[in-house]
Amino acid sequence: MARPDKAAAVAELTDKFRSSNAAVLTEYRGLTVAQLKTLRRSLGENAQYAVVKNTLTKIAANEAGITLDDQLFAGPTAVAFVTGDPVESAKGLRDFAKDNPNLIIKGGVLDGKALSADEIKKLADLESREVLLSKLAGAFKGKQTQTAQLFQALPSKLVRTVDALRAKQDEQGGAE
């Protein structure tokens, strides 16, 4: 029978997996308490970084419907549970890992899909959601402007064509 404290820990981790947009598993071996504090700050307000027990985390992930590779649970593990923009947190982890090589990004999950460490690094290279949305809006606005110009050009071209035909008919009528 499971101990109540372990059952409560699994329930809490399961809830975090379910309520998070993303979760990134890392190895923190060799980091000081001060470095971990700095890491937590660099992740932003929408991420929670927690040192976890591998067995309990694996059980919680399975209960949340997430299948993760067993290799992710080798060595000391900490998980960044992201409730906001996953790109911002991935950038925070990547940048911190550049300055502190003891932090190793193992892998993670984004919207229920397992990600490798390389995929998380690619996610960190993306621009933020707001920037991507503004670029998309700009592209749509540009297409709307082109469409409006096209629709304005058609009637004016028709008027010029009719005027040219009328002028040609007037020339032919005057020449006879």
pLDDT one-digit tens code per residue, 61-85: 888 888 888 888 888 888 989 888 8
Residue 44 CB burial class (10 angstroms; 0-12, 13-18, ≥19): middle
pLDDT at 2: 64
pLDDT at 176: 55
pLDDT at 70: 81
Residue 1: both structure tokens together: 């029978």
Element (H, E) at 55: helix 54-63
pLDDT at 71: 84
pLDDT at 117: 82
Task: Show the low-confidence residues of the chain (pLDDT under 50).
Answer: 1
pLDDT digits (tens, 9 = 90+) for 13-24: 888 888 888 889
pLDDT at 47: 87
pLDDT at 128: 67
**What is the Rg, in whole angstroms, of the alpha carbon atoms belonging to the chain?**
29
Q: How far apart are CA 29 and CA 46, in angstroms?
A: 24
pLDDT at 1: 41
Q: How far apart are CA 52 and CA 66, in angstroms?
A: 16
